[in-house]
Amino acid sequence: MKRKATNNLFKRLLNVVLSGLLGAFILFWIYRDFDFSMALQVFDHDTNWWWMLLSLFFGVLSHVFRGLRWKQMLDPLGRQPSKSVCIDSIFIAYAANLILPRVGEVSRCATLQRWERIPFSKSLGTIVTERTFDVLCMALITLAAFFLQMPVFLRFFKETGTKIPSFVHLVTSPWFYVSFFSVLAVAMLLYYFIRYLSFFQKVKKLFIDLLEGMLSVKEVRNVPLFFCYTAAIWGCYFLHFYLTFFCFPFTSQLDWMAGVVLFVAGTVAVIVPTPNGAGPWHFAIITMMVLYGISATDAGIFALIVHTIQTLLVVVLGVWGWIHLQLKKTPTVWQTDEK
């Protein structure tokens, strides 16, 4: 048992180190010749902080809506968790993803199990369903962006090596490696997901709990509200990103359609398992902004400042969620149940 625990700890540490190194390598490659004093000057003198605060407001609101939607999915399981615990668990989950990508889902279930006594496997099932809806939403947004801005995507494919006949040129293109790591990340996620499901199939009760959680969406009492929450989550995600355009003079002229395309590019890029998408997100945003006429330097400044501030927001919310839960008293009914 000790050896198994040690091996698990080693794997987790290795995952943390590898994901951090991958993000650091991509960031180093992107900003290797960058003049950071220019970014500091823009940060000090040219950033409109009112727009930034409005953007951060929608960032917080997206987490709140996600917590409220999750509560809707959890209610049919037999316990009605409090809204604050669901929202705090979302805050903590996003902060946990900064340490180890994709571990946030596990932390959400663990938080709920501790504070609301909802079985881990049941709440995990609701997250599987939740992620399915998120993937569908992202697919719809991506398709809409592609058809509405097809010339931009065709130019993007042309300039990033998609139609290059030379294999040597292909493998020397940075997009080859970004695409490779993205596909690899998806394959790894599918592998661990299938492994996880196969493990539960061996344990009947846990598998039933997982299936019950996945099907909980059928028992949601207010289905229109569920879809309103889903739309609100993605609307807030978009505004959290798009409003940052107005923070800087060199991006304020970009319209909302450019915002949708850049939003899609950034969302797809974070599939690569680095802390908060650091590295791949910068690369995708900078590359797409250049296609819209923004200089590489200005695009690099935008990506650096926006990603740093939004990451700090995730940290602050995670700390707040953890402190708020620690100050929360355990309900008396739980104490009675345990006696």
The confidence score (pLDDT) of residue 126 equals 81
The confidence score (pLDDT) of residue 336 equals 38
The confidence score (pLDDT) of residue 171 equals 43
Q: pLDDT digits over 39-66, tens only? A: 899 998 889 999 999 999 999 999 999 9
Q: What is the mean pLDDT of residues 14-35?
A: 79
Which pLDDT band, with edges at 50, 70 and 90, does 323 fall under?
A: very high
Q: pLDDT digits over 195-225, tens only? A: 555 444 444 454 555 555 555 566 677 888 9
Range name among 95-99, 210-214, 296-300 with the lowest pLDDT average: 210-214
57 within a domain of the structure (yes/no)? no
Residue 99, pLDDT above cutoff 60: yes
- In which domain, by residue range, is 135 found? 63-326
17 within a domain of the structure (yes/no)? no
Give per-residue burial for 95-111: e unless 16+ CB within 10 Å, then b: bbbbbbbbbbbebbbbb
Question: Which of 26-30, 208-212, 232-236, 252-256 has the highest average model confidence (pLDDT)?
Answer: 232-236
Cβ–Cβ < 8 Å for 159, 282: no
CA–CA separation, 227 and 130 (whole Å): 11
337 within a domain of the structure (yes/no)? no
Q: What is the mean pLDDT of residues 312-319?
A: 95
CA–CA separation, 28 and 32 (whole Å): 5
Per the structure, how many domains does the chain have?
A: 1
69 within a domain of the structure (yes/no)? yes
37 within a domain of the structure (yes/no)? no
291 within a domain of the structure (yes/no)? yes
The confidence score (pLDDT) of residue 237 equals 96
Which pLDDT band, with edges at 50, 70 and 90, does 318 fall under?
A: very high
Which pLDDT band, with edges at 50, 70 and 90, does 6 fall under?
A: low
99 within a domain of the structure (yes/no)? yes
CA–CA separation, 188 and 193 (whole Å): 8
Q: What is the mean pLDDT of residues 249-266?
A: 91
Give per-residue burial for 271-292: e unless 16+ CB within 10 Å, then b: bbbbbbbbbbbbbbbbbbbbbb
- For residue 318, the number of C-alpha atoms closer than 13 Å in the C-beta half-sphere is 17
Closest CA to 117 of 87, 72, 78: 78
Quote the pTM value. Answer: 0.77
199 within a domain of the structure (yes/no)? yes
Q: What's the chain's average pLDDT?
A: 78
